[in-house]
Amino acid sequence: MTLFPLINQKKNLDYLRNIIKNERVGNAYLFYGPEGSGSEGFALEFAAMLNCGSESESPCGSCHSCKKMHCLEHANLEMVYPIPIRKDQGSDSDPFKKFTNAEIEEIQEIIQKKAQNPYSKIIIPKAKHIPINFIREIKRKTYLRSQESGWKVIVIFDAHLLTEPAANAFLKILEEPPEKSTFILSTSNINAILPTISSRCQPLFFPALAPSHLRDYLLTKNVPEDHIKLIIRLSAGDVNQAINLLDADIETFESMTLEIMRAVAVWNVKNIYNYVESLTALYREDSTQFNQVLLSVSFWFRDAILLKTQTDPEELVHSNLQEEIAKFVNAFPEFDPYFALSSVENCIDFINRNVYINVALLNLFFNLFQSLNSRKIL
């Protein structure tokens, strides 16, 4: 059992337990892995493990320390995250000095969400970096004598967003680390961490969650069975995205996929243009969802191969579209799924490289039409 609702990563959990059992707690760790793999939540769990008053291997959940940790209000826990940088504030001042009460309240709400769901991110509007004064503030607090016994744990979320001066200030702390304290840097972008920092931290990799673990988790959230596969596929092991998709109307992905495929199959130019326009708007509003719509279209082709090769229909991602995909396979027996799949990948790649979105989409739709190998003449 863990204090926070965490999913799997058993190997890492055992590793952290052994560190405590063998009394070999280091000064600095670097927890890294793709978004939603749990590196942030496990950093908080480690803080709870280090401070729990019971003798048990896992935080007991009922002692004074565990109760405080559970709501992220423990005096031994410091959290650092990107915040908006105000122009006229000095580098030594309290990083939150220029924030209004409403802004502070908003941050507190975001932190409470994190306490309930360790996978939710602390994202503060307009925050792009972790400024130096946040690190200086932490330094000041860490060297103060703690009111609490146990270990001080400083978790730096999105550590790749430390500004260079902030990273250097952090390095200074590591040169003379305060007693009984440990720093945990968490990141989904290890390549953006300065080598001078990563070389001083013990690394711990958190792989993306396996579909089976994500599936078990989604089952506890009462997700209908016929949506689970699509959610798992669209979220690619990121629990956060899976949680967002729970709130999203998953049927929209299915209906959009079906409509796009219909427009492509009959090459209805007016509908194609409408889709280019609405997808371009979607990209500007929510690029993650845009990618998910394109992925959803690529799963249509993947499912079509499965049906064509008479694989167990249980394997289909779009299980709700089985009938329509079967009709598609009958109507276009010569379709080229590999060309279709690579066209979707290329389209996402083009857009990431700033090719005009509408040009990339038009090209995609034309390629998808070509991939049908229909004898229909344009």
The residues of the shown chain that bind Zn ion, judged by CB under 5 A, are 52, 54, 59-60, 63, 66
* Choice between 63 and 329, CB closer to Zn ion: 63
**Residue 2 CB, nearest distance to Zn ion (Å)?**
12
Contact of 297 with 265, CB cutoff 8 Å: no
Residues forming a β-bridge with 203: 30
**Residue 71 CB, nearest distance to Zn ion (Å)?**
13
**Residue 74 CB, nearest distance to Zn ion (Å)?**
11
* Choice between 182 and 291, CB closer to Zn ion: 182
Rounded CA separation 96/82 (Å):
12
Helix (H) or strand (E) holding 295: helix 287-308
* Choice between 58 and 271, CB closer to Zn ion: 58
**Residue 111 CB, nearest distance to Zn ion (Å)?**
21
* Choice between 54 and 196, CB closer to Zn ion: 54
**Residue 57 CB, nearest distance to Zn ion (Å)?**
11
Q: Which of 80, 154, 153 is nearest to 122 (CA)?
A: 80
* Choice between 56 and 255, CB closer to Zn ion: 56
How many residues are recorded in the chain?
378
CA dihedral of residues 117, 204, 162, 77 (deg, nearest 10):
50
* Choice between 65 and 371, CB closer to Zn ion: 65
Residues forming a β-bridge with 129: 83
Q: In the structure encoding, which two tokens stand for residue 187, read together?
A: 């990141």
**In the structure, how many helices (H) and strands (E) does the chain have?**
16, 5
**Residue 3 CB, nearest distance to Zn ion (Å)?**
8
Q: What are phi and psi of 184, to 5 degrees?
A: -120, 115
Q: Which single residue is written with the structure tokens 């967003």?
A: 161
* Choice between 66 and 156, CB closer to Zn ion: 66
Q: What are phi and psi of 311, to 5 degrees?
A: -75, 155
CB neighbour list of residue 175: distance below 8 Å, 6 or more residues apart: none
**Residue 309 CB, nearest distance to Zn ion (Å)?**
54
- Name the amino acid, one letter, at 377: I
Q: Say which DSSP state 372 is in.
A: T
